[in-house]
Amino acid sequence: MENKQSSNIRWHHATVTRSRRQLLNGHSSVVLWFTGLSGSGKSSMAHAVEERLYQMNCRTFVLDGDNVRHGLCGDLGFSEADRSENIRRIGETAKLFVEAGIIVLTAFISPFRGDRQRVRSLMPHGEFVEIYVRCPLEICEGRDVKGLYKRARAGLIKDFTGISSPYEEPEVAELTVDTHLLDIDQSVDAVIRLLRNRGIIANQDDC
C-alpha cells in the first residue's frame, strides 16, 4: 500500500515532554514486540506481562493483532502488502504510545523481518524490544484454538503463515521465549527480568 506524505503540516512541540511523562510514571517507555506463529502464545504472554506490570504500578497498553483489525486496520486483508501496511500502522501507533511514556506491548505474527526492522527503525536505539515467542509449528497447529490451521490446510485460508506463507524468524531478537518448554509464569518472568536488566523498570516490585 502506498505511503503518501501529508503536505502543509508542521510538527508541534509540547511542553509536557516524554521525559516528564516518564518521570511521572516512574519507568521508561518502550515497545515490547511479541512475534511468532499463530498459536505460539503471543497474546497470552503480552496480556500476562501487562497484568504483572500493572500489579507493579506501571503504565501499559496492549495492541493485539485481532483487536486492532476490528478498527484501526479493519480495512486490510492478509495479502503480503496488507500485512506490511498493518505492521506499519501498528509501528506508528506504538511510537505514539512510547512518546506518551507508556510501555506498549504488541502481539502480532509480523512474519516478515523487513517489516519488523522498519518498526525498529522508528524508535531510538534500545526502545524496540523484539520478543520471539518460539514454538514448533506442529505444536502451534495442535493447539489451533481458532481452527485456523485446519482451515488453512483445507485451502480455505490463503497466505496463512507457516502453511502457505513464510514466517521469517528473528535473527537478533532481544529475547527468545520457548513457550512449548516454559509455562506462562516462567515466560512472564523472563520478560520482567529483561526489563529490569535493561533499566526500563525498577528492580523492586513498584515501578
- What positions carry a catalytic annotation? 110
- 115 neighbors 87 (Cβ within 8 angstroms): yes
> Following DSSP, what letter does each residue of the chain receive, concatenated?
---PPP-S--PPPPSS-HHHHHHHHTS--EEEEEE--TTSSHHHHHHHHHHHHHHTT--EEEEEHHHHTTTTTTT--SSHHHHHHHHHHHHHHHHHHHHTT-EEEEE-----HHHHHHHHHHS-TTSEEEEEEE--HHHHHHH-TTSHHHHHHTT-SSS-BTTTB-----SS-SEEEETTTS-HHHHHHHHHHHHHHTTSS-SSS--
The contacts of residue 143 (CB under 8 Å, 6+ apart) are 39
Residue reference for cell 486492532: 68
